[in-house]
Structure 1
């Protein structure tokens, strides 16, 4: 998906829980800023970062990996809708494998992050893949489009 698309609108509209892989506890980091924005707009943020495992980030328990996070959410009757990745491109394949293992419907690689083979692997498993895009920017665009759309036409 290269430009803002109906698929991105669908992902953002249908999702409620975002696992942020590589989320930093430092408020000056981009991952924190983006996750905080998404949380303020109604999404539940699940931090995933082995450095901060067991600690709180944005009021949520941080998990060392996606399977741990998914297991904890399943115990609450919830699931991860989007795996949002803030890791180097070369670190994407193991994250993708974990996202597939937990049957997450979408993996979203932030700006500057892409991995064609991992994307193909995820798509082959039925996942939606967004690469090299900022979820915050796309959410801001989506919200502005919703405000411009008359209620009767949605």
Structure 2
């Protein structure tokens, strides 16, 4: 059966229940899409956890981690800004760390990654921009700080 993203109401519920978003491939360069999207989500009250092995220190005022496995706190959404061929391994890590959702940004699609995550019970969203969905759906999040 072909992959289908959750419907808009389901996506809204995912965003409402999320607090922490690990952003895999988050760049420390302010002109990159990953940076702009993460900054916007941070501005909406989400906790952003940068994941980028080539960045030492912080991005957006948050400690940057080399991998999902290095993060100490629970992760709700793993938001991915990496090429499609890297996503199956990211999906495996997302499952290992107990994330609830694997979200592949706009332009990123990988059926194998979707299967890995879905078989472990994660919500899977592909080829959608989390910032756009959040802006359109305007979720009222339970955990908002």
TM-score by length of 1: 0.85
Q: Compare CA radii of gyration and give the structure with the larger one.
A: 1
Query: What runs of 5+ residues in structure 1 fail to find an aligned partner?
Result: 74-78, 147-154
RMSD: 1.4
Contact 1:4 1:138 in 2 (8 A): no
State the distance in 2 between where 1:88 and 1:123 align: 19
Query: What runs of 5+ residues in structure 2 fail to find an aligned partner?
Result: 141-145
Match of 1:139 among 114, 120, 134: 134
State the distance in 2 between where 1:131 and 1:50 align: 23
State the distance in 1 between where 2:133 and 2:7 align: 7
More relative contact order, 1 or 2 (CA 8 Å, 6+ apart): 2
Q: Which residue of 2 aligns with 1:149?
A: none
Match of 2:64 among 44, 62, 65: 62
Q: Which residue of 2 aligns with 1:82?
A: 77
Equivalences, count: 137
Contact 2:107 2:127 in 1 (8 A): yes
Over 3 Å counting, the alpha-carbon distance change for 1:110 and 1:60 in structure 2 is same
Match of 2:9 among 6, 9, 21: 6
TM-score by length of 2: 0.90
Deviation at 1:63, TM superposition (A): 0.1
Please identify, of 133-142 and 4-13, the stretch whose mean Cα deviation from structure 2 is larger: 4-13
Q: Which residue of 2 aligns with 1:130?
A: 125
Match of 2:42 among 39, 43, 47: 39
Q: Which residue of 2 aligns with 1:52?
A: 55
Deviation at 1:37, TM superposition (A): 0.1
Superposition misfits of 4+ residues, deviation over 2 angstroms:
1-4
Q: Deviations over 1:56-85 (max 9, x none)?
A: 10000000000001xx22xxxxx1100000
